[in-house]
Amino acid sequence: MAFSSFQEFIVMGGYGFFVWLAFGGTFLGLGLLVLRSVVARRHLEKACADHMRRQERLARRQKQERSR
Residue number with CB closer to other proteins (5 or 67): 5
* Using rule CB under 8 A, residue 45 touches other proteins: yes
Binding of residue 21 to other proteins (CB under 8 A): yes
Does 32 sit near other proteins (CB under 8 A)?
A: yes
Min dist. Cβ of residue 21 to other proteins (A): 5
Contact criterion met (CB below 8 Å) for 48 and 55: no
Site for other proteins contains 25 (CB under 8 A): yes
Of the candidates 31, 9, 29, 30, the residue with the CA atom closest to the CA atom of residue 20 = 9
Q: Which residue type, as a one-letter code, is found at position 65? A: E
**Coil, strand or helix: which one is 43?**
helix
